[in-house]
Every structure is written in structure tokens, then in C-alpha cells.
Amino acid sequence: MPQALIALFLALTAFGGRADAAEIYSQKHPSGWTWIFIVGKIELGDDKRFKDVLLENARKHVMISSVALYSPGGAVEPAIRIGRYIHTMRIATIGPYSFKPILNIVNCPYNNGKLARYDLKTGRGDPSCTCASACFLIWAAGLGADAHNDNVQPRIQIHRIAFDRQIYANLSVEQAQAKYESAEARLVAYLKDMDVPPSVIRRMFSIPSSSISYLTVDELKMMRGALPPYLAELYDAKCGKNQKCRDDFEERLYFETVPKLEEMN
């Protein structure tokens, strides 16, 4: 891919956090379900690594129920691809969270059940305990909710896209406008496909790339908390309130979708 094209879709700039590539691995959760964890900066090629982990588990007839995300951001293009894989397979996404009323202490359970914490006020703790920028693009693709508990609040950070400053600084006004609007249109189309509310998209693009802002409680409620209407109605029609029927149908639907995942780029 030409350098200019790579630059077009690169990072929603990551502030702080790990400098190395993300760790991507699957692990059985105490709930009995198997999760995939993405921990660290998202880089080119991570989409292929993520897809390989999904397919490796599928070949063993292991269903992935959730993807846990602890990342300061990184490259947009692989984040979009990972998001589309998650959305296609109808997998839930989990991000860092805080317990009310102490919202400055962020919690990230990962690494063989260990709990990482990060204090937003003091900067103490594990700086990987965040989900910002490109991580939001992946998180937004998930079905279901982080935690349906009024005392638990997901802590997801957003801001608008940024480009490599050395490249962007050398553009004319016309070139900068064309480059930015092209990237913005692609990103908006993706977010709409992920059912992100227009108000969230507008606010995201209002936040400078040098700043961050957390999704509000109202925005979280709009984005999380329920299956899409088409899927909720299908579950109800087939199973009513029979939880075993619903679990069995969810598993069958998951493995029926694997061939579609295999065909995706």
C-alpha cells in the first residue's frame, strides 16, 4: 500500500499507553465463556491476527462470546476491519470500567484473570487500562452491553481522527480538506454501519485530536443495553423466555456465520 494511502487511514492518535503492538489472545473467562483480549496499541496487521484467533477457536468449535478491549488506540484501518469481524459474528465487546462514585479508578480484568487498574487523577497504575480513539471503533461494533448495573460505567474515550503531522503539515489547504473529508466520510459510513447514533458521531468529530472525551452516560445508554431489534424479535419468536433455547440458537447462529467470516478481507 502506498505511503500516502497508509497515512490516510492511520491512527486516531493514541495518547500514552504501550508503544508495542497489541497482544491478541483468547482465554476462558470465569463465566465459562471464551473471550478474546486485545491489550495494547493497534497496528497494521492486527486485524489478520484477530481473525486468525477467531477462526482458530471456531475450528475447535469454541464460540467467542466477548472481546475485551484495553487499548490507547492506534491504526484506524485494522480497527475498522476488526470491528466488522465482530459485528458480523455478533460478538459483545467489553471495555474498561469504573465503579460509581469513584469514576477516576478504571478497572481492566485481563491477563489470566488479573485485574489492572489505572488512576486517571494521579496517573498511577497500568496505562493500558484504557479504550480510546481507534479502540472506540472496535468497541462500537459489539452487540449487547458492557455491564447492566447502574453502579458500573464503561469508560470509553473518543476524539476526531488525526494524521501523521509531518505529512499533514506539508499539505495545502485544499489538499488537507480533500484528505480529511475523504477519511471522515469513510469513518462515518463505518460508524453508521455499526449503528452508532448520529449524535455520538457528531460529537466525536467536534473533539480535537489533541483532546479526549469520555462517552457520557446517556450516550452509553443509547449504544448499549439491548440486542438489535431484528435479532431480539427473532430470539423471542423462536424461544420466548427459554434461556437454553436462546443459548443454543445463539451458538448455532454463530457457527453458521463462520463461513461468511472466512470470506471477509
Pair 60, 128 in one domain: yes
Q: What is the extent of the structural domain holding 19? A: 3-226
Q: Which residues contact 66 (CB under 8 A, 6 or more apart)?
A: 29, 33, 35, 36, 91, 92, 93, 94, 142
Pair 127, 173 in one domain: yes
Pair 50, 125 in one domain: yes
26 by DSSP, 3-state: which?
strand
Pair 181, 118 in one domain: yes
What's 58's domain CATH number? 3.90.226
Whether the CB-CB separation of 29 and 35 falls below 8 Å is answered with yes
Please give the tally of structural domains in the chain.
2
CA–CA dist 65, 239 (Å, integer): 19
Pair 95, 139 in one domain: yes
Pair 119, 31 in one domain: yes
Give, for all 265 residues of the chain, the pLDDT tens digit.
334 333 333 333 332 333 457 899 999 877 788 999 999 999 999 999 999 999 999 999 999 999 999 998 999 999 999 999 999 999 999 999 998 888 899 999 875 667 889 998 898 998 778 999 999 999 999 986 554 567 888 899 999 988 888 889 999 999 999 999 999 999 999 999 999 999 999 999 999 988 889 999 889 888 876 678 888 899 999 999 999 999 999 999 999 999 999 999 8
All 3 cell numbers of residue 220? 452509553
